[in-house]
Structure 1
Amino acid sequence: MVKSVKMNYLFNLINSSSQFLFPLITFSYASRIMMADGIGQVSFFQSIISYISLFTSLGIPMYAIREIAKVRDSPEKMMQITLEILLLYAFLTFFGYIAIAVICMTVTKVQTDIPLFLLLSISIFFTAIGCEWFYQGIEDFKYVAIRGLIVKIVSVVLLFFLVKTKEDILWYGAYSVFGIFGGNVFNFIRLRKYLHWNIIDFHMLHPFRHFKPTLYVFALNVVTSIYLQLNNVLLGFMKNAEAVGYFTVATKIIVIVMSIFGSLSVVIMPRTSNLIAEGKMDEFEALIQKSYDFVLALAIPLTVGLIFTSPSAVLLLSGDGFSPAILTSQIVAFNILMVGLSGVMGIQVLYPLGKINIVILCTFIGAIINVLLNILLIPFYGHNGTAVAYMLAEVTVTISMFFIGREYIPIRFLKKQYGHYIWGSIIMGICLYLLSLLELNNIATLITMVIVGIVIYISILLILKDSIIMMMIKLIKLRLNN
């Protein structure tokens, strides 16, 4: 049965947002206890571990989603691919923990708190057994979303009970791991529902046949991580844990917002892969155009909104001690639009079409820009310099992807209705600026800005009779009538 793209998106949005929303809610509590240096220490270790996880994953998740989506109507082929990928994951994870041991014995900054580093490294194991790629490939987003919410609620309760002072950093590290990855255990156990051992010949399993194709996705992940995880690593080495803490706070909000578009790509990619495999190119092109329109309708106002809400959001999230992170948050707000656009062109179109080389090239160009700018700007501007480097890297990726891959992308990039989103965002921004002049506390300011911003933007689209907002109204009426 073909599942609804809208429902898949809703469930995956719930899951992806919760992965960042719950830490955001608890971050306000944890940051006031751990302070900038404590938060920075955890983020610094997580950045190092994420590089090891990058190698142990080897591009498997994105590759596996596409491959499972292609064969999801054939239980035998689906089971064979699933088992092969799990075996490959196990092999790579073994070498990942060898790297963890070497780092613990040789890196001085890690030796300052080896128990915390080892605790955070458990995320590598949880990632290996998580199998979210399997459920995304078969478009079973409902289960993942419900399971994720339950695990995160339990982990939040434990955080408030166990993290009381700055000395409880190990408990905070445990929350960071189990709150995000703990549910992966249930993912692994639930595979029994789909995998039937009596239909598979274990002599036919060849896990290393997936090694070469995953290397292409791995190359993409490596260059992407250069301007994601390397930002924290460079800050940690070239400045200090406090600078990492400020940058971490500044990017917490944007990561949640960008999960909206990441969720869309995760839902659209298996569907487009399946449509391409079945030769339904007209449906593929129509779906991509709708996705692009939707991203623009959301990304433009969200970018403007974060710029004006950052002062109250950052202070509410982390306290007055993190005021240096406000400008940083405003700088990286532009990445909301850039990541949204590059996600449609790269993950939803070029990768399913087999043009991942273009995505890798464009991302590599952005990564080079990011590293060079970080080296130049961090000594003078610290975390704000990293924010500028990060933002310009995403701009470079999006622009290069547009020019290099345009012939393969079936999108009308300029339409009259896009002016609706620009004008609506401008008017909304003016109103948010006026609200920022009022002398309200942070929580009152943030709530007022969010509500007024949404009302104004939607009102402008209604006045202009925008096609997306009119379609949403039509769908709501149909739901109510049914």
Structure 2
Amino acid sequence: MKEKSLSGNIVLNAIKTFMSIGFPLISFPYISRILQVENIGKVNFVISIINYYSLVATLGLTSYAIREGSIVRNDIKKRSHLFDELFSLNVITTIVAYILLGISLVWIPSFQEYRSLLLIYSLTMLFNAIGVGWACSVFEDYLFITVRSIIFQFLALVMMFLFIHKQEDYYKYTWIMVFQVAGTGVSNLLHVSKVHRFKFTTKIDLKKHIKPVLTLFATEIATTIYVSSDTTVIGFLAGDYYNGLYAVSTKIYRVAKQMLAAILQVAIPRLSNYYNNGNMKDFEDVIQEVGEMLILVLMPIVVGIFYCAKPIIILLSGIEYTEAYVSLQILSISLVFAIIAWFLSQCVIVPKKMESLMLKTTAFSASVNLVLNILLIPYGKQNAAAFTTMISEAINAGIYLKYAYLHLRITELKKQIVQCGIACVLMIVFMSIIRYSLGDTTLFLMISILGCSVIYILTLLIERNSLLFKYLHAIENRIKVNRE
């Protein structure tokens, strides 16, 4: 298979992610105002519960399939056999997940109030299973992924404005989210079937797959505990109101995380292929480029969210959600540790097949997170939940850094941090002046976004930031080629 441009893939995935951010920024202010805090809290609680059953349904197969599929993607016979094995295993685990959900709905009293919502949203497990999204990543088919994502997000957005008009419409809101997942899954299956027609098989080499799959599964369980346990614990110990507040801050946090993940996701198949085929120089070159790019994008986002947390909350969800701004500020700091941990784990640890390290690390941080959630949430509500998330992400980042250190060119990364740090300081000075004049208003937020963007880019140009100049030269060369 012809190797596709990494920078091109990054641009495509960035477009997809930008649209993934843009559509919620349009819909969520409308949805949060119509459904109100408690109903948003109910939906958020249901999503957190289904996330646990989705773990059983996926069983760690996504990361494993991308890694193993990337290694054999140029060998049609091996690739076809692997795809059918993993697809069949995913079907079986999804059936098991539905059985466990059915038992839970009968025996867990707390689920009775949410039974209908749980059943509706559980359909996402089915469509994720048949959607084989991991196959698109194996083939690095980011043009299709981008177009498909935009189409179904747009359709979901239109449906929200057409069908959601009163507080009781949170059921319709849940159905629309299911529709988006269903459309994505079916289109994935149809698209990949042009290259490989999936067949169910009972001839699964469990001896080969079961250990790494279960290790990644256990890691995802631990990850979900510290990603979703805060919402779950708030639901049980504090109530739907505080879950509604936390839903707003986590929505913004996850949107920022998704945007930064766009840089990482396109590199994972390439890194797995390089490392497992012995191309260590290419492996470390890609790690370095991705690391520098993350610093370039991460630092201004974190500074901007922290400094503008209150007007962001008010703009996106309304004045009644203002209490959520402190938890958003805490989560903005958590974003630094989360992206560092994600970068090191997905770009270094996973390609090196160090699943056991990921499991031990994530299990430890998840345990700390769960204990702190139970102890602190009754007192600190949504702010305590954000704090425990930050602690967990910091633990992950610290441990992964210890094991990935040898693959990083620290001197070059430090230079990038210093240059971006100076630009961020100038951003803070600018925002402080504007806030003094305008206060925490929407106008302050708009001026800050535009002004800080200009200040940040100009500062990097003055500093002659190597990565920025590299991409500017690449764009210039592409324009010249097109003219010729």
Counterparts of 2:317 and 2:207, CA distance in 1: 46
C-alpha separation in 2, matches of 1:162 and 1:88: 37
- Residues 131 and 186, structure 2, Cα contact 8 Å, conserved in 1: yes
Partner of 2:446: 447
Residue from 410, 414, 418 that aligns with 1:412: 410
Q: Which amino acid aligns with 1:101?
A: G
Measure the CA separation in 2 of the matches of 1:121 and 1:347: 27
Partners in 2 of 1:181 and 1:201 — Cα distance?
A: 20
* Residue of structure 2 equivalent to 1:247: 246
Aligned to 1:157: 158
> Which amino acid counterpart does residue 436 of structure 1 have in structure 2?
R
Match of 1:366? 365
Give distance in 1, aligned partners of 2:123 and 2:200.
32
Equivalent residue, structure 2, for 1:465: 464
- Pairing 1:306–2:305 present: yes
Separation of aligned partners in 2, 1:51 and 1:331: 25
Confirm or deny: 8 A CA contact 1:235 1:382 kept in the other structure.
Answer: yes
Q: Which shifted more, 256-265 or 405-414?
A: 405-414
Whole-angstrom CA distance in 1 between matches of 2:105 and 2:456 = 51
Gaps of 5+ in 1: none
Q: Which residue of 2 aligns with 1:212?
A: 211
SS at match of 1:279: coil
Q: How far apart, in 1, do the equivalents of 2:247 and 2:200 lie?
A: 48
TM, length-normalised to structure 2: 0.94
Partner residue in 2 for 1:275: 274
Name the structure 1 match of 2:332.
333
Distance across 2 between alignment mates of 1:95 and 1:335:
34
Please list, as runs of the form range in 1=range in 2, the aligned pairs for 1:348-427 lying within 5 A after superposition: 348-403=347-402, 405-406=403-404, 408-412=406-410, 415-427=414-426
Is this contact kept in 1: 2:85–2:201, CA < 8 A?
no
Partner secondary structure for residue 182 of structure 1: helix
The superposition leaves residues 143-162 of structure 1 with CA deviations (integer Å, 9 ceiling, x where unpaired) of 01101111111111111111
Alpha-carbon offset, residue 462 of structure 1: 1.1
Cα distance change of structure 1 residues 110 and 21 upon mapping to structure 2, 3 Å threshold: farther
Distance 1:125 1:399, change over 3 A: same
How many angstroms does 1:341 deviate by?
1.5
Alpha-carbon offset, residue 208 of structure 1: 7.1
Q: For the Cα contact (< 8 Å) 1:37–1:245, is it kept in 2? A: yes
Distance between the aligned counterparts of 2:136 and 2:390, measured in 1?
A: 32
**Number of aligned residue pairs:** 479
Cα 1:214/1:172, change in 2 over 3 Å: same
> Are the counterparts in 1 of residues 237 and 377 from structure 2 also a CA contact under 8 Å?
yes
Q: Does the residue aligned with 1:270 lie in a helix, a strand or coil?
A: helix
Could you tell which deviates more after superposition, 379-388 or 173-182? Answer: 173-182
| Deviation at residue 213 of structure 1 after TM alignment | 1.8
Whether the aligned pair in 1 keeps the contact of 2:212 and 2:355 (CA below 8 Å) is no
Distance in 2 between residues matched to 1:350 and 1:24, nearest whole Å: 33
Listed as ranges, the gaps of 5+ residues in structure 2 are: none
Distance (whole Å) between structure 2 residues aligned to residue 147 and residue 273 of structure 1? 25
SS in 2 for 1:437: helix
**RMSD of the TM alignment (CA)?**
2.0
Aligned pair in 2 of structure 1 residues 344, 411: CA closer, same or farther (>3 Å)?
Answer: farther
Equivalent AA in structure 1 for residue 83 of structure 2: T
SS at match of 1:3: coil
Call closer, same or farther: CA 1:447–1:181 in 2, change over 3 Å: farther
Q: Shift of residue 363 of structure 1? A: 2.1
Distance 2:464 2:98 in 1: 56
Q: Quick one: distance in 2 between partners of 1:201 and 1:449? A: 54
- Superposition deviation, residue 20 in structure 1: 4.8
Separation (CA, whole Å) in 2 of partners of 1:111 and 1:202: 37
- Say which is worse superposed, 4-13 or 267-276, in terms of deviation: 4-13
Matched residue SS, 1:324: helix
For 1:189, the equivalent position in structure 2 comes to 190
CA drift of 1:207 comes to 6.2
Q: Partner amino acid for 2:232?
A: V
Give the equivalent residue in structure 1 for 2:109.
108
> 1:17–1:256: 8 Å Cα contact kept in structure 2?
no
Deviations 1:172-223 (A, max 9, x none): 11122223443111111223211158xx996865467423321111121111
Q: Which amino acid aligns with 2:263?
A: L
Question: Are 1:51 and 2:49 matched, yes or no?
Answer: no
Q: Secondary structure at 1:6's aligned position in 2? A: helix
Closer, same or farther: CA 44–68 of 1 in aligned 2, 3 Å: same
> Structure 1 vs Structure 2: percent identity of aligned residues?
28
